Structure 1
Amino acid sequence: MNSKKGKFYTAGKFAEKAGVTLRTIRYYDKKDLLKPTEYSESGYRLYSNQDFAVLQKILTLKFMGFSLEEIKVVMKEESDKADFKHSLNIQRHAIERKMEHMSHILEAINETEQMLDSEDTLDWDKFILIIKAINLEKISAEQFKNAANLKDRINLHEKYSTNKQGWHRWMFERIPILKGAKILELGCGDGSFWLRNKDRLPEQCEITLTDISEGMIEDARNNLADLDKNFTFKVMDAQNITFGDSEFDIIIANHMIYYVQNREKVFSEVDRVLKSNGVFYAGTNGKKHMEELFNMVENFREKVTFSYIRKNHKFKLEDGKTQLEEWFYPVQLYCYKDSLKVTEVEPLMDYVLSAPGNLNEILNEKDFKELEELFRNIIENEGYMYITKDSGVLEAKKR
Structure 2
Amino acid sequence: MTDYYTSGEFAKRAHVSVRTIRYYDQQNLLKPSARSKGGARRYSDADFAKLQQILLLKYLGFSLGEIRGLTLGASDRRRLLDSLQIQRRLVEERIEEMTAVEAAIDSTTQTLEAGKPVDWSRMLELLHRSTMTQSLKTQYQNATNISARIRLHRDYSMNKEGWFPWLSRQLDLTPGLKILEIGCGNGELWATSHDRLPEDCQFILTDISEGMLADAKKEIGEDSRFSYDRCDAAHLPFADEEFDLVVANHMLFYCDDIPQVINEVRRVLKKGGRFCASTYSKRHMHEITDLVQKFNSQIVLSSVNLYDRFGLDNGEEILAPFFAQVTCQRYEDAIELGEAEPVISYILSCHGNQNALLLDRYQEFKQFVEDEVTGGFHITKDAGTFICRK
Partner in structure 2 of residue 375 of structure 1? 369
Give CA-to-partner distance per residue, 1:178-219, whole Å, 9 cap, x none.
Answer: 211000001111110001111211120110011111100001
Give CA-to-partner distance per residue, 1:308-327, whole Å, 9 cap, x none.
Answer: 35267400100001100011
Q: 2:376 aligns with which of 350, 363, 384?
A: 384
1:301 is displaced (CA, Å) by 1.3
Partner in structure 1 of residue 206 of structure 2? 210
Give CA-to-partner distance per residue, 1:58-114, whole Å, 9 cap, x none.
Answer: 346xx9xxx9648539979xxxxxx9xx9xx99xx9xx9899569x9xxxxxxxxxx
Cα distance in 2 for residues equivalent to 1:336 and 1:318? 14
Cα distance in 2 for residues equivalent to 1:390 and 1:249? 28
1:46 is displaced (CA, Å) by 3.2
Structure 1 contact 145–213 (Cα < 8 Å) conserved: no
Cα distance in 1 for residues equivalent to 2:230 and 2:22? 35
Structure 1 contact 10–46 (Cα < 8 Å) conserved: no
Structure 1 contact 335–392 (Cα < 8 Å) conserved: yes
Structure 2 contact 173–197 (Cα < 8 Å) conserved: no
- Structure-2-length-normalised TM-score: 0.73
Structure 2 contact 281–307 (Cα < 8 Å) conserved: no
Is 1:72 aligned with 2:108? no
Structure 1 contact 12–364 (Cα < 8 Å) conserved: no
Q: 1:337 aligns with which of 321, 329, 332?
A: 332
Count of residues in Structure 1 that have an aligned counterpart in Structure 2: 328
Partner in structure 1 of residue 60 of structure 2? 58
Unaligned runs of 5+ in 1: 26-35, 77-82, 105-135
Is 1:5 aligned with 2:9? yes
Cα distance in 1 for residues equivalent to 2:235 and 2:333? 34
Partner in structure 1 of residue 320 of structure 2? 325
**Structure 1 segment 143-182 matched on structure 2, within 5 A:** 143=139, 146-182=142-178
Q: 2:24 aligns with which of 4, 9, 14?
A: 14
Cα distance in 2 for residues equivalent to 1:165 and 1:370? 36
Structure 1 contact 304–358 (Cα < 8 Å) conserved: yes
Partner in structure 1 of residue 385 of structure 2? 393
> Structure 1 residues 74 and 253 mapped into 2: Cα distance closer, same or farther (>3 Å)?
closer
Structure 2 contact 25–32 (Cα < 8 Å) conserved: no
Runs of 4+ that moved beyond 3 A: 1-4, 6-17, 36-53, 67-76, 96-102, 136-145
1:298 is displaced (CA, Å) by 2.5
**Structure 1 segment 4-43 matched on structure 2, within 5 A:** 4-6=8-10, 14=24, 17=27, 39-40=33-34
Is 1:310 aligned with 2:305? yes
Cα distance in 2 for residues equivalent to 1:9 and 1:351? 35
Residues 257-266 or 39-48, more deviating: 39-48
User: Secondary structure, in 3 states, of the residue corresponding to 1:223?
Assistant: helix
1:138 is displaced (CA, Å) by 9.0
Cα distance in 1 for residues equivalent to 2:303 and 2:89? 36
User: Secondary structure, in 3 states, of the residue corresponding to 1:335?
Assistant: strand
Give CA-to-partner distance per residue, 1:254-286, whole Å, 9 cap, x none.
Answer: 001111110011011001000011100001010
Cα distance in 1 for residues equivalent to 2:88 and 2:165? 33
Q: 1:183 aligns with which of 161, 179, 184?
A: 179
Unaligned runs of 5+ in 2: 12-17, 36-41, 67-82, 106-122
> Structure 1 residues 139 and 256 mapped into 2: Cα distance closer, same or farther (>3 Å)?
farther
Q: 2:196 aligns with which of 200, 205, 209?
A: 200
Cα distance in 1 for residues equivalent to 2:358 and 2:345? 15
> Structure 1 residues 384 and 40 mapped into 2: Cα distance closer, same or farther (>3 Å)?
farther
> Structure 1 residues 184 and 11 mapped into 2: Cα distance closer, same or farther (>3 Å)?
farther
- 1:396 partner letter: C
Structure 1 contact 298–306 (Cα < 8 Å) conserved: no
**Structure 1 segment 238-387 matched on structure 2, within 5 A:** 238-310=233-305, 313-365=308-360, 367-380=361-374, 383-387=375-379
Cα distance in 1 for residues equivalent to 2:177 and 2:126? 44
Cα distance in 2 for residues equivalent to 1:233 and 1:12? 47
Cα distance in 1 for residues equivalent to 2:323 and 2:170? 18
1:336 is displaced (CA, Å) by 0.6
1:16 is displaced (CA, Å) by 7.2
Cα distance in 2 for residues equivalent to 1:15 and 1:322? 52
- 2:188 partner letter: S
1:51 is displaced (CA, Å) by 6.1
Structure 1 contact 146–213 (Cα < 8 Å) conserved: no
- 1:378 partner letter: E
Partner in structure 1 of residue 47 of structure 2? 46
Sequence identity percentage: 32
> Structure 1 residues 385 and 43 mapped into 2: Cα distance closer, same or farther (>3 Å)?
farther
